[in-house]
Structure 1
């Protein structure tokens, strides 16, 4: 039995605006063209694009932190070796040619000549080596994505050879600007890369040059006059305006005060779509494949019981989350592997339909009887910063009360959230948003990876799930070059974690939704949408 909208509004103190759900437009746009942006044969040079974002970024380079806000800004300044079209086919960027040895252990890249860092120094293979090895050592995905990298050879200034000790079949998909940016070695020196001045005032090779960062106000980038791609970018300036209040973002779009925005309130999208000067683009990001997950803290003896986790899963109405919390602009997720990766997808053991009676029966059988006050036990809910996740936490608190679980919501900024989830572990239930990415070895493995318990790192295994069989299967899949065998391994993993349920997949997260003025053209130019470089974007005169 589902909680109807009226009941939930009463339970959660009226935090949601009323309104009908809007069907999801889940479509992967043709990267390298214009996404859903309007196109024209004659781009206009000049002008400033003002882009509203809700959160202030912790830094401006995604080498060691792949937070979405950081990724989106970083990719305009710092470039990767490759970019990708809508079919994940690699395209040249800082690398103009590449080859892979027959045994899959040597990836040789011919680097683009005559590329200079924004401070005028030449880009060389030493920068590639530094960037790859630094992310392998310290990056949140580096320990998985680059686990098999044994070194980077630099036979000359314009040749870099990534050497592996085991095959890594997904490596060529991991070299995008936002995923593995190439940074200037001279800017980092021999010090701690996490405290380098480049993190907050970056130097890159990209189409835009860092100008200034006024905390709490905006980040300003300017056109790179010496960009290696002749005629690009078209814009003179790019300003990311930090606007924590979603209502203010919508108002700024309506008045034309900003030209484009993400983090627009989902409830406002139907109204904004009716305005003649605005477009709403909810293209699906097939590179990140973002989704919301409910992570159980398995260090808590209560939640170490799989039947308690299953009971909580049955208490959650994911269809309600999809239709009302995310206003119809998401899809229910039935497996940690996204269905867009069809060869690897298996949802056979994630069958946890909303069933309050079954949830109560499981909790009774697990020995958690209701007390005189009707409560069984209490939990603390940690949630990723953002209004959509806050609404999800409100819903979770309301629905858990129906099965006798008292929930307290833990508020805080992003650093506080990360500390609670990955360091202090001061939570019971964690609502997280994670990119499932372009390959399960990169995006899904980290959700369950036992190494994250012994070596804590943000975005890796907040549940503290440890299953040696699953770890072994992931290690095997990571080096398997036969796609059919690899698919069978990933399906076996999904069957195991679906039964164990250390993490309950909820719904997709429409993080790539953009609203922009119709004067803006060619906003997207890569498969990763908002993490493209805006080198093709331009604004028509008012």
Structure 2
């Protein structure tokens, strides 16, 4: 392994080589290429050995919270899904399916939504699942005084009703045709009302749901474990006795755990090692196109990012083709709008080509001919650090000196999401990602780019505000007419693309690795992991 002091020099040389290759090829790996890479595992490979009936899953970052209504990261939501369930959810292709609701319907004006609930279900602590339990949960997340991170998804709720024991109804303040998608989002998973009352805010470390697994323990320095729920309402599940989720930010360590059998499943697989480990040591690598957008936000309230020419210059200064090859080994595609192609109402934009000379010209026009110094924040995972170092190298070519500041998840969360006043925000550049876990353009745009979505209310880390964009977002929410919504979202995407509050980068593939005796675990297009059907083949 290279020592840290040599890493930047190595990366710079490697990027230079990739830039040459990218310039020659003009395109990334094709879907066929990637399919070959991940399906080359020999069919005759014997099952690896496995003792016991429990699994260990190694993941790339620390877990933040087990409260679904106060969680803003997909990874924590993935672990929650083993214990907590919602009224509706998504299948592996993100098509909506009933879960704790047997059926549901919306009024013609898209203001009233009624759910018929599954009977005979209990929370892990014995509390009955019924309409009153649903009401407690939705009232909690829809109450702005609770200051929960997912409030913005339910702020339109005007009234909730337990019509009878197994009928729940919610009425909105105004029409919102995508509300059912919000109920399918992980934020709408339900916790025991008794647990909410008993633990208060500490319910984040004492999750009690209705899922196939029950919370066992959480050593925040090492792992979180769940155990089999013997009374689960779906017959035949779960198929394993327990699962241990172990955060392992360093890519090499995570792969080594899979190779030695210390981990049975890891997510994500570092793309640079995917092909080399597939089909060896009983390992199977799987990848699919995702709806996970990767970008770098620029704090538009701070100089020099309050100047659109600077923001556009940064987009011209980054070679997205090379970024995809260096950071993701070609497993993905370039982001060509503010939302990924697979989201409803996506509208393709004209890309910012790699043009360092144009970037320098724009910087000169903005008064920064000699560049400037800045910092970029991001998580401390291997892939994120590689991405930030790539950006650092690229921007240095146009005179922008970037200091890379990786942070542990909890620290990053505190410094970004807990800022109460935009004037106090220290963030300048932030490398992050987003998956619209409702499958709808609204959740891919509004939380990240609406003027009212700055932290701590939501996730607009660019502190971007455009009154026309805000008006269009509002109009798109006030109709269930798909044609009108499509028109509004197309204009939004055009306006924001030109305003460039982000450096638009890539849409990465979901990519995971498992031992070949593992079955039933899969990744959704939004990057969430579902392990509820996990089993060990013998």
TM-score, normalised by the number of residues in structure 2? 0.87
Determine the structure 1 residue equivalent to 2:449. 448
Match for residue 336 of structure 1?
Answer: 338
> Which of 60, 78, 83 in structure 2 is aligned with 1:77?
83
Q: Which runs of 5+ in 2 are unaligned?
A: 1-6, 23-27, 36-40, 44-49
Residue-by-residue CA offset, 1:226-281 (whole Å, 9 max, x unaligned)? 00111211111111123233212111111222110103322211111131611111
**Of residues 504, 513, 527 in structure 2, which corresponds to 1:515?**
513
Q: Which residue of 1 aligns with 2:464?
A: 465
Inter-CA distance 272–217: structure 2 relative to 1 (3 Å threshold): same
Q: 1:274 aligns with which of 272, 275, 279?
A: 279
- Name the structure with the higher helix share: 2
| Residues 126 and 154, structure 1, Cα contact 8 Å, conserved in 2 | yes
Deviation at 1:24, TM superposition (A): 6.3
Matched, 1:183 2:191: yes
Residue 300 of structure 1 corresponds to: 302
Q: How many angstroms apart in 2 are the aligned matches of 1:319 and 1:61? A: 38
Report the CA distance shift for 1:182/1:459 in structure 2 as closer, same or farther (over 3 A).
same
- Separation in structure 2 between the aligned mates of residue 108 and residue 18 of structure 1, nearest angstrom: 58
The question of whether the paired residues in 2 share the 8 Å contact of 1:384 and 1:417 is answered with yes
Distance 1:71 1:204, change over 3 A: same
Q: Provide the rounded CA distance (Å) in 1 between the counterparts of 2:16 and 2:119.
A: 54
* CA distances 1:360-388 after superposition (whole Å, capped 9, x unpaired): 11111222232xxxxx2111111234222
Q: CA deviation at 1:11?
A: 6.9
Return closer, same or farther for 1:26/1:529 CA change in 2, 3 Å cut-off.
Answer: farther
Q: Is the 8 A contact 2:109 2:480 kept in 1?
A: no
1:526–1:265 Cα change, 3 Å: closer
Q: Does structure 1 residue 540 correspond to structure 2 residue 507?
A: no
8 Å Cα contact 1:170-1:439 kept in structure 2: yes
After superposition, residues 306-321 of structure 1 pair within 5 angstroms as 306-321=308-323
Q: Secondary structure at the match of 2:333?
A: coil
Q: State the secondary structure of the residue aligned to 2:285.
A: strand
Which aligned pairs between 1:88-103 and structure 2 lie closer than 5 A? 88-103=94-109
- Displacement after TM superposition at 1:177 (Å): 6.4
- Flag the 1:323–1:52 CA change in 2: closer, same or farther, 3 A: same
1 CA distance for matches of 2:387 and 2:245? 27
Q: Is the 8 A contact 1:46 1:235 kept in 2?
A: no
1 CA distance for matches of 2:178 and 2:411?
A: 33
Does residue 243 of structure 1 match 2:248?
yes
Q: Please, which runs of 5 or more residues in structure 1 have no aligned partner?
A: 1-7, 30-35, 39-43, 371-375
For these two proteins, the number of residue pairs brought into alignment is 503
1:407 partnered with 2:402 = yes
8 Å CA contact retained: 2:249, 2:381: no
- Report matched runs for 1:452-531 at 5 Å: 452-453=453-454, 456-457=455-456, 460-510=459-509, 512-524=510-522, 530-531=528-529
1:231 to 223, 233, 236: 236
1:442–1:530 distance in 2 versus 1, CA, 3 Å: closer
Higher normalized contact order (CA 8 Å, seq sep 6+, divided by chain length): 1
Q: CA deviation at 1:68?
A: 1.8
Q: Which residue of 2 aligns with 1:140?
A: 149
Contact kept in structure 1, 2:292 and 2:525, CA below 8 Å = no
The CA deviation at 1:529 is: 6.6
Q: Does 1:206 align with 2:211?
A: yes
